[in-house]
Structure 1
């Protein structure tokens, strides 16, 4: 006869305790069934998870919740004292949680000799449930991901919705402000340089006003970022530049752009031939500022969105001038 071992809240077991299940599971001594409210990818040992089948339990839809109420009414032998509109409002209030729905129904079944409650009367009997949200768990990361991707996807309405969801859940407003600043530099960048100023101003405004007035500044920043042109040109360029810096090690700057505060340094050629770009006829010298041992590379490649459209034209003009000047020197 096989043994079924059910472990509720299995994520509360530490790594060593979870390892203790392994030999019994592998030998088939027990069939392990674990339940957890956390993401098993983060909370369970890889060895145990690889030997398991994961079933994700999703929130109940309104039809399933209504079926629970039908069963509760059948068991109690009487209908809930609710108008159809109030019954629907109660389903919405449960927010997909069947256990919470049945807890509310118990309160209503205890009421005696009353007329069916409308929505307003129901609200007076039942307290509004706080939305499911845990600032330190998976839901926190799911919602901030939804907010960030809505901004990145240029959808201000969805972005405002997810911002409101996080505010209703009690999220740290300064955490949200920091993430909004990150969106400005990561997804918008040079396409709209004003975005970083708007994001920082929203953070400072919230710092100054607090809630609820300061929340509007964050909402304004979210809308600005969502409706701004997007570019990851600087983001990608900086990553490429860091890779190049790692590859090339400690190459020195070319002599003409090294500082020469002493006679010895000048005698070694430091600063020799340096051209002060603003003093040139074109305001551009075309000099090479990379190390002598390193070929010139292009990291920043603007896509031509928003402000970057003008930047792209300017860089292309300078690149042509640099190539012409280098050819003339050769």
Structure 2
């Protein structure tokens, strides 16, 4: 009879990837996360305290998020349950929660690890709250996206966010040494090729071990590869720049300044260089959103809409199809009318708020929900703008001790030309009604 596990690809003797065979067995074996797992690391302190609490692991792929979650369950004697927001839904979560409740009755807690937790919608994220609060589960969610933007505030308020860092060259080098010891043979790479492989891994430990495995498979007896030979084997080029170092900041700066300078061709050139170097497209998309609000602003309000839509399109399509959406947003922003008036106005408002943040608004524009407040003059004399000619009262909204300030000065460009006309018209009405 045919073994069903063999048919399903689950034969216990089936070869396992090198990255799986080298998966750390203790927290001290995890590479590159000393800020979390070192002697004074955040997770080390939590384990010592005896109270883990729910956590969100935020960081790039291949940095050990899943492994650390599994080892934490082992360390704290919790049952480890793993699911993914990509494949899971409400029905699966309900089943997991029911099993965790039954487990809790028998005296064992549950550590639920949710990969790609940001892919759950808001309602699905809310479903975790009751079981987190009553202790049914200890949640560890993993995400590559900024939790502040992608996760519910209610969920974040019940979990601590811990940041996993991309592995540096030293950590990747140690992983390769561990792989060589495990395989009992050196990687057939010369010194330059070895350095290139480390760069190709791009901070991803799993990718480094996968590349090493490809090299061993391809090598003939006594064969040694140089950098060119390595690139031929793995069909991958080393990043043009280290994303954590100078090249990363040089190219994003060049992209930003060419968009600001209204040169779409140069902007596309630098964008293509960043894609070619392996830059995270979502990082680029976020920077394009920043360009839309900093350098275009209300001169073309549609720029922000398009930049945000490009980010969502990439998130939906992935690489390489989604890269075109970001390129389209870059072209739009580069060719849009430019204005930093909103950027400058907000900066001025922030400074004013820091300097005069204790001043009370005029009583006329404050509500008076109590008799005492009405007797104190709250709301007295307020003019409802919709009842006034031109739907404009011209009344004072600034603290009396500060007086009216001018912060936003739109230029005569793009849509802000229309905004300036409105502001000038309202100022004219304000003067007329003040003088009458």
Per the shorter chain, which TM-score range? Answer: 0.5 to 0.7
CA drift of 1:132 comes to 2.1
C-alpha separation between the residues in 2 aligned to 1:134 and 1:128?
15
Q: 1:210 aligns to what?
A: 318
Say whether 1:182 aligns with 2:290. Answer: yes
CA drift of 1:244 comes to 1.2
Q: 1:282 aligns to what?
A: 390
Say whether 1:143 aligns with 2:251. Answer: yes
C-alpha separation between the residues in 1 aligned to 2:390 and 2:366?
23
Structure 1 unpaired stretches of 5+: 1-101, 108-122
- Which of 221, 241, 245 is residue 349 of structure 2 equivalent to? 241
C-alpha separation between the residues in 2 aligned to 1:317 and 1:324?
11
Say whether 1:253 aligns with 2:361. Answer: yes
C-alpha separation between the residues in 2 aligned to 1:131 and 1:174?
17
Once the two structures are superposed, residues 52-102 of structure 1 have per-residue CA deviations (whole angstroms, 9 ceiling, x without a partner) of xxxxxxxxxxxxxxxxxxxxxxxxxxxxxxxxxxxxxxxxxxxxxxxxxx9
Q: Cα–Cα, structure 1 residues 277 and 212, in superposed 2: closer, same or farther, change >3 Å?
A: same
Q: 2:265 aligns to what?
A: 157
Q: 1:5 aligns to what?
A: none
Q: 1:292 aligns to what?
A: 400
TM-score by length of structure 1 reads 0.60
CA drift of 1:130 comes to 3.8
C-alpha separation between the residues in 2 aligned to 1:132 and 1:203?
24
C-alpha separation between the residues in 1 aligned to 2:355 and 2:433?
28
* Within-5 A mapping of 1:57-206: 129-130=237-238, 132-206=240-314
Q: 2:329 aligns to what?
A: 221
Q: Cα–Cα, structure 1 residues 288 and 131, in superposed 2: closer, same or farther, change >3 Å?
A: same
C-alpha separation between the residues in 2 aligned to 1:300 and 1:308?
11
Query: Considering only CA atoms, is the larger Rg found in Structure 1 or Structure 2?
Result: 1
Q: 1:37 aligns to what?
A: none
CA drift of 1:169 comes to 0.5
SS at structure 2 position matched to 1:282:
helix
CA drift of 1:279 comes to 2.0
C-alpha separation between the residues in 2 aligned to 1:236 and 1:201?
25
Structure 2 unpaired stretches of 5+: 1-225
Q: Cα–Cα, structure 1 residues 240 and 124, in superposed 2: closer, same or farther, change >3 Å?
A: closer
Once the two structures are superposed, residues 124-179 of structure 1 have per-residue CA deviations (whole angstroms, 9 ceiling, x without a partner) of 89x78545211110000000000000100001111111111000000011111110
